[in-house]
């Protein structure tokens, strides 16, 4: 036999046993991963008793669990099918490909095992039931006007004569800011406290979905709005003393009964919402409405200094420009905060003069907007369809975090 043939034969034998050894190792690892994932699936199955299973069937929760179980079973079946070829002649001929397939399977099994941690965490979170409520981070109240308004709202929360409270005011006036303080204050007064942001599509169904999500109420596949409203009503009725906060309620042509929020005009339970449209919203029937007023000149200036982080010594170097700039916000907290944030850290008097000049140039437009108030939604939508009208309003600045 020629030396070349001998060397090739020896190399083939070495390569064969090398691949077999590598694949054998992959097989052992696969077996370990299959065992781990199977145990995880059994653990999750054991955690879900009949009552937890019902609680878990809420928005996308049950779908997530079934999807995870199905994918896990597919991975296990696929991994076991690889064992059929390990150690055979085919493993020598296709050893490299089989090795990479096994490595990929091992990676997929491990990733899926980790995904199971989130599944079981969600199940246990739901199993513990509704949360009492969480503290919402919010800045301190500044100024006498805001402090007095908040004090009035707190008294309404504690007064059983008022079960429904509406915080009304123009955009940027501080409605959401005050309601966050009310929410945090309520944590010590009620058994359950819920915060709900109004859905972008403010329909009965979408509002029901938002409330149901907060209450962990299960609609299953029910599409009938009346049936969904009854389920929400029954869920709320069984909670005891609670406070429900709904932020930024727009125009609507349906009632609380349509949604399924059976909070009476008087009682220990509370429904609090913020809105700009009290006159046209049927939901405001039997609500105690509190209107948030514009800040006084003194309060506006104090808010401006706080947000701009200005010390008295620094203020004195700029003359009266900081106070004049605060006045261009016309007592609207969001506008004042935006101006202060923009000027924070600027110490060049020229920058302050430029900012004051630009803010004043927008002053009359902002003032007309304050006087006229918010336009009806239908009228605004009509205007959006007219390009020239949209462009004519594009210079009005309304941005920030306070509403």
109 contacts: CB under 8 Å, gap ≥ 6: 30, 33, 34, 36, 37, 75, 76, 79
Q: Which of 162, 200, 180, 170 is nearest to 245 (CA)?
A: 180
> Sorting pLDDT into bands at 50, 70 and 90, what band is 96?
low
Give helix 349-361 / helix 333-343 axis angle, nearest 10°: 150
- Greater confidence, 377 or 297? 297
Domains of the chain listed by start with CATH number: 3-127 (no CATH), 144-291 (3.40.50.300), 297-392 (no CATH)
Query: What is the model's pLDDT at position 217?
Result: 86
Task: Tell me how far apart the alpha carbons of residues 310 and 343 are, in angstroms, rounded to a whole number.
Answer: 10
Q: Are strands 192-197 and 164-168 parallel, antiparallel or unpaired?
A: unpaired
User: What is the maximum span of the chain, computed from C-alpha positions, in angstroms?
Assistant: 107
Is the pLDDT at 3 greater than 60? The verdict is no
Residue reference for tokens 């919010």: 138
Location of structure tokens 């090795």: 99
> Which residues are CB-contacts of 136 (< 8 A; sequence separation ≥ 6)?
180, 183, 184, 195
Query: Is residue 140 pLDDT above 90, yes or no?
Result: yes
Residue-averaged pLDDT of the chain: 77
Residues 126-140, mean pLDDT to the nearest whole number: 80
Q: Is 140 left (phi over 0), alpha (psi -120 to 50) or beta?
A: beta
Average pLDDT for residues 145-174, to the nearest whole number? 95
CA distance 217 to 228: 10
Report pLDDT digits (tens) over 271-330: 999 999 876 556 677 899 999 999 999 999 999 999 988 877 777 788 889 899 999 999
pLDDT at 262 over 50: yes
Lowest mean pLDDT among 31-40, 330-339, 383-392: 383-392
pLDDT tens digit sequence for 11-36: 444 444 444 446 667 777 778 888 88
Least confident segment among 94-103, 187-196, 294-303, 377-386: 377-386
**Does the pLDDT of residue 113 top 80, yes or no?**
yes
Q: What is the mean pLDDT of residues 326-335?
A: 93
| Helix (H) or strand (E) segment spanning residue 362 | none
Phi, psi values for residue 194, rounded to 5°: -120, 140
Burial 303-312 (b: 16+ CB within 10 A, else e): bbbbbbebee
Contacts of 277 (CB under 8 A, 6+ apart): 249, 250, 251, 374, 377
Reference 402, options 165, 185, 167, 186; nearest CA is 167
pLDDT tens across 35-82, in order?
888 888 887 776 655 444 444 444 444 566 778 888 888 888 887 777
CB atoms near residue 296 (< 10 Å):
14
What's residue 182's pLDDT? 97
Q: 124 versus 275: which is more confidently predicted?
A: 275
- Report the Cα 303 to chain-centroid distance in Å: 28
pTM for the whole structure: 0.62
Strand partners, 336: none
Angle between helices 349-361 and 363-372 (to 10 degrees): 40
Residue of 103 and 217 predicted with greater confidence = 217
The three-state secondary structure class of 246 is strand
- Distance in angstroms (rounded) separating the CA atoms of residues 101 and 120: 29
pLDDT of residue 383: 43
Please give the angle made by the CA atoms of 39, 98 and 21, to the nearest 5 degrees: 85
Residue 231: per-residue pLDDT: 92
Q: What is the pLDDT of residue 389?
A: 33
Span between the terminal Cα atoms of the chain, in Å: 91
What's the pLDDT score for residue 100? 74
| Percent of the chain surpassing pLDDT 70 | 71
Give yes or no for a contact between 281 and 251, defined as CB atoms under 8 angstroms apart: yes
The percent of residues in the chain predicted with pLDDT above 90, rounded, is 37
**Is the per-residue pLDDT at 395 higher than 70?**
no
Predicted pLDDT of residue 83: 63
Distance CA 73, CA 37 (A): 9
- Residue bearing tokens 């006159």: 279
For 58, other C-beta atoms within 10 Å of its C-beta total 18
**pLDDT the model gives residue 299:** 95
Whole-number pLDDT of residue 19: 46
- Say if residue 400's pLDDT is above 80: no
Q: pLDDT at position 10, please?
A: 45
Binned at pLDDT 50, 70 and 90, residue 216 comes out as: confident
């Amino acid at each position: 036999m020629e030396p070349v043939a001998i060397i090739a034969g020896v190399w083939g034998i070495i390569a064969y046993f090398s691949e077999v050894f590598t694949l054998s190792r992959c097989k052992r690892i696969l077996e370990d991963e299959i065992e781990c994932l199977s145990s995880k699936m059994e653990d999750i199955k054991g955690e879900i008793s009949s009552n937890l299973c019902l609680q878990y069937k809420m928005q996308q929760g049950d779908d997530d669990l079934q999807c995870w179980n199905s994918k896990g079973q597919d991975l296990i079946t696929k991994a076991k099918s690889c064992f059929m070829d390990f150690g055979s002649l085919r493993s020598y001929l296709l050893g490299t490909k089989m090795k990479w397939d096994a490595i990929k399977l091992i990676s997929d099994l491990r990733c899926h095992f980790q995904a199971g941690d989130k599944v079981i965490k969600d199940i246990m979170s739901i199993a513990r039931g509704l949360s009492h409520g969480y503290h919402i981070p919010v800045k301190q109240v500044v100024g006498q006007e805001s402090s007095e308004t908040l004090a009035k709202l707190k008294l309404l929360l504690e007064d059983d004569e008022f079960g429904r409270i509406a915080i009304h005011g123009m955009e940027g006036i501080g409605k959401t800011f005050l309601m966050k303080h009310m929410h945090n204050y309520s944590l010590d007064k009620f058994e359950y406290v819920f915060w709900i942001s109004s859905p972008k599509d403010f329909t009965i169904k979408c509002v029901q979905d938002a409330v149901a999500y907060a209450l962990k109420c299960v609609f299953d596949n029910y599409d009938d709005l009346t049936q969904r409203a009854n389920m929400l009503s029954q869920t709320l009725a069984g909670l005891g003393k609670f406070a429900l906060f709904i932020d930024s309620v727009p125009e609507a042509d349906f009632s609380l009964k349509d949604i399924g929020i059976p909070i009476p005009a008087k009682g220990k339970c509370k429904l609090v919402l913020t809105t700009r449209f009290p006159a046209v919203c049927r939901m405001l029937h039997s609500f105690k409405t509190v209107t948030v007023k514009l800040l006084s000149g003194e309060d506006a200036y104090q808010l401006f200094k706080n947000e701009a982080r200005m010390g008295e010594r620094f203020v004195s170097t700029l003359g009266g420009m900081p106070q004049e700039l605060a006045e261009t916000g016309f007592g609207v907290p969001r506008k004042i905060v935006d101006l202060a944030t923009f000027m924070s850290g600027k110490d060049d008097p020229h920058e302050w003069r430029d900012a004051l000049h630009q803010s004043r140039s927008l002053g009359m437009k902002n003032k007309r907007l304050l006087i006229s108030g918010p336009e009806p939604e239908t009228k605004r939508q009509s205007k959006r369809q007219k390009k020239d009208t949209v462009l004519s309003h594009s210079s009005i600045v309304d941005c920030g975090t306070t509403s």
